[in-house]
């Protein structure tokens, strides 16, 4: 059992690192469909970590939490986002405000900062996977960077969801998961948030269509609109590393 839990712990750290890697993938990826895939993958990693922690600690309710994450974040939300992207014809659109190398460097600095902040606290944790706290914090900060470096509403929401994944990774790693009723509540809130996003995006599109002739459009709506109008797949393709 002891060997087994050592392996389990290493596996959790490895998976947390994969999750951070995916956060960086989200940071630099420009195609929206790929963003959604990365998000779904990151959620899948979260599912595996949660069930692994549940298995190692014998906390039954973590399995339930993992199942909830699976249904909601691996399946339901990505499907909703995919449908949105198709309906709004955004598959080939790109948006980044900051140059990629600069973004990556900033991301690296954030990771160092996160590890520095988390180290003294992680040592205090009684939970099994306390080393993961730094990684989770880094994931949250990288998600935050992604949010401010994107102009398109849907990318901002994916950044928001990625940050939320980071918070959940931290919750699973440093405590043994939040009380179930709280997790349920959070899940419902997140789902409603994504549904609101869907409603918004459609209306932003409508508003942009109907108001284009009159006064200047709002920044958000203009950005929603600019995607399908000016697709530059070739140029962006060559810039993607």
Residues in contact with other proteins by CB under 8 A are 59, 117, 120-121, 124-127, 140, 144, 147, 153, 156, 160, 163-164, 167, 170-171, 174-176, 178-179, 181-182, 185-186, 188-189, 192-193, 196-197, 200, 203-204, 206-208, 211, 217-221
Between 63 and 237, CB nearer to other proteins:
63
Does residue 50 contact residue 62 with C-beta atoms inside 8 Å?
yes
Between 48 and 187, CB nearer to other proteins:
187
Minimum distance between the CB of residue 7 and other proteins, rounded to whole angstroms? 23
Alpha-carbon distance values, 117 to 14, 34, 141 (Å): 20, 31, 12
Name the 3-class secondary structure at 99.
coil
Residue among 22, 45, 19 at smallest CA distance from 35: 22
Between 99 and 206, CB nearer to other proteins:
206
Helices of type H across 125-218: 132-149, 153-174, 180-211
Minimum distance between the CB of residue 209 and other proteins, rounded to whole angstroms? 11
Minimum distance between the CB of residue 237 and other proteins, rounded to whole angstroms? 29
**Cα gap 224→176, rounded to integer Å:** 40
Residue among 234, 187, 208 at smallest CA distance from 69: 187
Between 7 and 188, CB nearer to other proteins:
188
In the numeric block, the tokens 């990556």 are attached to 104
Minimum distance between the CB of residue 125 and other proteins, rounded to whole angstroms? 6
Minimum distance between the CB of residue 241 and other proteins, rounded to whole angstroms? 27
Between 28 and 207, CB nearer to other proteins:
207
What the block records as the tokens of 240 is: 């993607």
């Amino acid at each position: 059992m002891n060997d087994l839990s050592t392996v389990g712990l290493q596996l959790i750290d490895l998976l947390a690192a994969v999750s951070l890697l995916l956060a960086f993938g989200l940071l630099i990826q420009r195609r929206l469909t790929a963003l959604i895939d990365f998000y779904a993958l990151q959620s899948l990693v979260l599912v595996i970590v949660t069930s692994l922690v549940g298995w190692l600690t014998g906390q039954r309710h973590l399995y339930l939490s993992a199942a909830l994450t699976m249904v909601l974040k691996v399946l339901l939300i990505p499907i909703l986002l995919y449908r949105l992207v198709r309906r709004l014809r955004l598959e080939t659109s790109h948006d980044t405000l900051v140059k990629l190398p600069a973004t990556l460097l900033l991301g690296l600095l954030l990771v160092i900062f996160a590890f520095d902040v988390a180290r003294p606290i992680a040592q205090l944790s009684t939970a099994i996977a306390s080393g993961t706290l730094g990684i989770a914090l880094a994931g949250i900060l990288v998600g935050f960077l992604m949010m401010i470096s994107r102009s398109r509403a849907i990318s901002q929401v994916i950044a928001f969801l990625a940050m939320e994944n980071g918070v959940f990774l931290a919750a699973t790693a440093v405590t043994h998961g939040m009380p179930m009723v709280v997790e349920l509540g959070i899940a419902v809130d997140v789902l409603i948030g994504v549904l609101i996003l869907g409603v918004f995006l459609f209306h932003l599109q409508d508003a942009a269509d109907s108001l284009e002739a009159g006064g200047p459009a709002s920044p958000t709506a203009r950005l929603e609109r600019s995607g399908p109008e000016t697709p530059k797949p070739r140029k962006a393709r060559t810039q993607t590393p």
